[in-house]
Amino acid sequence: MENADDAPFPHGYQAVRRDQTLREQIVAHGLKLTPSGLSQGTSGNLSVRSDGGFLITPSGTPYEEITAEGVVQVAMDGSHAPGLRPSSEWRFHRDIYAARPDVHAVVHAHPPYSTALAMCRMDIPAAHYMIAVGGGDSIRCAGYYTYGTQELSDAAVRALEGRLACLLANHGMIAVGATMEQAMWRAVEVETLARQYTLALQVGKPALLNDDEVAQVLEKFGNYGLMSRKDASS
C-alpha cells in the first residue's frame, strides 16, 4: 500500500504554492521601493504575471501594510474578487502583459530624476552605455494622459515597443522584466541613468553614442547579470 506521505501532491497544489510565492515577492519588493529611492508614500505599483491574469498591489495602501493576502488577483478582462481594489494603474499592467509575452513583472514608480525628465517630456538618449538596460538606444517618454485611463495604457504600450522601460509624461516611469527582481533592478538603473543625464545637462551638451556603439553594448548585455535571466519563477 502506498504511504500517504509518498502520494503525489493534490491537483492544483503547485499552482497554489506558486501563487503564494508570487504574492510574497510583491510584498517583499514593495518594501524596497522607498529605501531604493524609487517611490514614496503609496505611490507606484508592482505586478507579476500569474495564471489567467496578474497579481498587483492594492490601491492606496502603504507598502508596509500590504500582505500576501492583500495582493489583488486581476483577470485579463479586468475583473477581480469583490472587496479588493487593485491599483488604479491596473490597465497598463494588463495591456503590457497582453502585448508582451516576454514580460512577467512590471514596476511603476515616481522616482525624482526620471519623473523630472518626464515632467519635461524628454526621452533619455544614449548618453551612457547603460541605456542598454532599457533594451534599445533610448528610453522613450510616453505622451501625457490622465492616470488610470485606457489612453495612458495605450501610450505606455507604444513607448515600450522594443523596449524594457519608459517614462510617462508628467507622471513617472515603468520598468519591466522576466522576473520581479529583474524589473526592480532595471527601475533602479533607469533612475540612476536619469540622474546622470540630468546632471550632464547642467554641465553641457552630452555626447551621444552612435548606433554601432549602442548595438555593441546591447549584444554584450545579453550575458550581463540580471539582464540575462529569463526564468520567470525566480
Q: Which residues are catalytic?
A: 89
Q: Which helix (H) or strand (E) holds 50?
A: strand 45-50
Exposure class string for 107-119: b at 16+ Cβ within 10 A, else e: bbbbbebbbebbe
Distance CA 101, CA 112 (A): 30
Distance CA 232, CA 102 (A): 9
SS3 59: coil
Say if strands 53-56 and 72-75 run parallel, antiparallel, or are unpaired.
Answer: antiparallel
Q: Which residues fall within 8 angstroms of residue 25, CB to CB, at 6 or more apart?
A: 48, 180
Number of other CB atoms surrounding residue 186 within 10 Å: 24
| CB of 136 closer than 8 Å to CB of 209 | no
Distance CA 164, CA 177 (A): 7
